[in-house]
Structure 1
């Protein structure tokens, strides 16, 4: 039962992972009167590419010949260009206006709307492109997996500053399942900060500790009240656990109340299985029977 409760608690914490970000340190603020250095804009991908350099050279040549008095038809004959190419170069005020497709620095993508979510999940430690693609599919994304994979691959290869991460749901679950006196002072303070910021996790902690008290003090008669209290809170994982307990309520109450259990029987079963593994392929059933009876 305690193991099942722990798994349900971990799912509940994972569902409220946003509440764990309260443990992240606040970014350092600039001192009053001190100007923050402006970030330099990243160089466009076409800044020093040979394609861009070729376009710049042809653009400069065409405009120089136009200023010298040559007609567009004459420029096309001398430079071996089509009329359309000469017209494009002549009409463009800057060579950058001629960059198209992958050379544009402001192309839109179907993924743009979901990039903030992907960045947030990346900062939380989720780096699996397939999992992230499945998550944004449920949010309405209708693009391909390849676009998401390329975006995540770029994040993997690009240098990024080391940033603090919130604790994993499993870590917070361990804090909730542990006795408060066994936690360190720092863990107690961090758990308190999380619970203050998230009423659902605070309710979860209360239910876990109430169940632990029932389990250790054998107060199984209080289980129906505990199940009723669980259903009053927005904790779907505990609701699932409660539904499973209801299917065998009498047995669970007996297990939480009576001093007897099946531990001795399970111990004998484990011993017999160990003997079977040791004897496999070595001797017959008669020797195995003697070992089981005499061991």
Structure 2
């Protein structure tokens, strides 16, 4: 056990004090201004530099970084509507852009879900990519048992 843990256990008068869980977050310099930031965000104004100068005019003395970090969880959930973009992409004489727009439109529900969901398939995709790389490296050299062993050994790293 660490020294801080031992001191905390020694200071506790009852076992319940040890089971208190995480501490409450400390008050932030931004707390008095969060309602203003929320209102501006709802109005569609998301430029952190402009929000910082607005809050400075209201008396905020904190850093730009705190303001930039505050709406970050909401930025992930926001998705701009690009419907009219599909129409203009089809009007152009660029077959690559046309097929890209058509593919996006076909899978639009999946695109929205991928951009707004908190879950990511990135680690799984990376693992699949790694397995394909190992398979390509071993093409024609060995049978399935060796491939299986290599994939499982690299997964343990």
State the TM-score bracket (shorter-chain normalisation).
0.3 to 0.5
State which structure, 1 or 2, has the greater radius of gyration over its C-alpha atoms. Answer: 1
TM-score normalised to the size of structure 1?
A: 0.23
TM-score normalised to the size of structure 2?
A: 0.41
- Higher relative CO (Cα under 8 Å, sequence separation at least 6) belongs to 1
